[in-house]
Amino acid sequence: MALKEGLRAWKRIFWRLILLAVGFSGLLLYGLPAVRYLETFIPMGTCPLSRMSLLRDNFSGLLRLWARPEVLTCTPWGAPIIWDGTFDPDTAQQEAIQQNLTIGLTVFAVGRYLEKYLARFLETAERHFMVGQRVVYYVFTERPAAVPRLPLGPGRQLRVERVSRERRWQDVSMERMRTLHAALGGRLGREADFVFCMDVDQYFSGAFGPEALADSVAQLHAWHYHWPLPMLPYERDARSAAALASGEGDFYYHGALFGGTVEAVRGLTAHCARAQEQDRVRGLEARWHDESHLNKYFWLHKPAKVLSPEFCWSLEIGRRAEIRHPRLLWAPKEYDLVRD
Ligand SMILES: CC(=O)N[C@H]1[C@@H](OP(=O)(O)OP(=O)(O)OC[C@H]2O[C@@H](n3ccc(=O)[nH]c3=O)[C@H](O)[C@@H]2O)O[C@H](CO)[C@H](O)[C@@H]1O
Ligand SMILES: [Mn+2]
């Protein structure tokens, strides 16, 4: 009897070791694009046909969610996931012009991020972001005089707002929520109808138009959109305001891009700023900072539209057949140059 028990225990240990070894080598090899490519075989799920044929969009009209059968084109709560080929950019353009919209684009460029990324971000936005619409850029920096003065297209303006420089890059990143919330309560909130809030360490590479507009908009994180729920890097410390328990969460969203109506983004930034402050007083900092809180927010308040990773792609991931037309690309990470 005891022998049998002992054997069973050994078997269990043996299998755990094997699993651990496989997991560990997987992690090591994950750096190789060839291994990473395997994750494309993890299915994303499919949008039920009954829903597909019905989903209309305020801006793009009838969505052709069946046009991309290899990827997930709607969420379980019925929001569209926008992939290339599912929308009609011309309809979206006409609709937005008719509604006579002003679209805000906010970006922070503090410290060395300004020289390193801002010019390219703005130049490429001029070529690709909401071309043909009225656009107001809001650049937040501690050195307004250093902001490049680009020639802007008709109907496009740039405003510079001064912010103080936080010492830690994590604080710069998180402070954005509070600053944005204040800005949305001021001039930005009065002059814009919709607003997108973006990281500066990226650049536009394709048309990013009104098809991306909705009440609230979240971006699928390029590195995680095939991963199973238990593996997503949510904050797991139950003491944090950003915590998601196991089984909670829909997708992993990217902190480098979110948007929506002024009202919706005010709600989002208020929530995240409050949650971050609550953590700070308790001596906590969420795993991925503002992004963790954003993920908690979108778990509680489902986004009305989700952008596929084509809208914010990282070339480091390597070629993927399902990524047809990247619109925004991550700039190479050079943390040693830009972070203290
Ligand atoms: C893959 C990854 O690592 N993702 C995390 C990392 O994103 P990132 O590595 O993309 O963060 P980041 O260095 O781009 O910082 C976010 C943004 O804040 C602004 N900024 C930041 C620091 C600074 O000194 N000056 C400045 O202007 C700038 O607009 C920048 O794009 O960190 C973020 C901020 O915590 C989030 O947690 C992300 O989840
Ligand atoms: Mn970034």
Instruction: Give the residue-averaged pLDDT of 303-325.
Output: 96
Quote the pLDDT of residue 1: 59
Which alpha helices (DSSP H) does 48-118 contain, by range? 49-52, 89-98, 113
Band of pLDDT at residue 330, cut at 50, 70 and 90: very high
CA angle 221–84–310, rounded 5-degree value: 25
Residues 6+ apart with CB under 8 A from 61: 88, 91, 92, 95
The answer to whether 122 touches 135, Cβ cutoff 8 Å, is no
Q: Say yes or no to pLDDT of 35 above 80.
A: no
Lowest mean pLDDT, pick from 16-25, 85-94, 145-154: 16-25
N residues, the chain:
340
Estimate to the nearest angstrom the gap between the alpha carbon of 124 and the chain centroid: 19
Instruction: Write down the pLDDT at residue 280.
Output: 98
Q: Is 164 exposed, middle or buried (0-12, 13-18, 19+ CB in 10 A)?
A: exposed
Query: Is 291 a catalytic site residue?
Result: yes
Choice among 95, 175, 285, 291 that is catalytic: 291
ipTM of the complex: 0.91
pLDDT value, residue 55: 83
Q: Is residue 310 classed as helix, strand or coil in its secondary structure?
A: helix
Average pLDDT over the chain reads 94
- Ligand 1: distance of its center to the CA of 325 in Å? 24
pTM: 0.91
CA torsion 143-148-154-158 (nearest 10°) is -10
- Residue 252 DSSP symbol: P
Q: For residue 148, what pLDDT band results from cuts at 50, 70 and 90?
A: very high
Assess whether pLDDT exceeds 90 at residue 214: yes
Helix boundaries (H) for 185-338? 187-191, 262-281, 290-300, 335-338
Residues with CB under 6 A from ligand 1: 108-111, 113, 169-170, 172-173, 199-201, 255-256, 288-291
Q: Is 77 exposed, middle or buried (0-12, 13-18, 19+ CB in 10 A)?
A: exposed
Domain ranges of the chain: 2-30, 45-338
Which pLDDT belongs to residue 244? 98
Architecture label for domain 45-338: Alpha-Beta Complex (3.90)
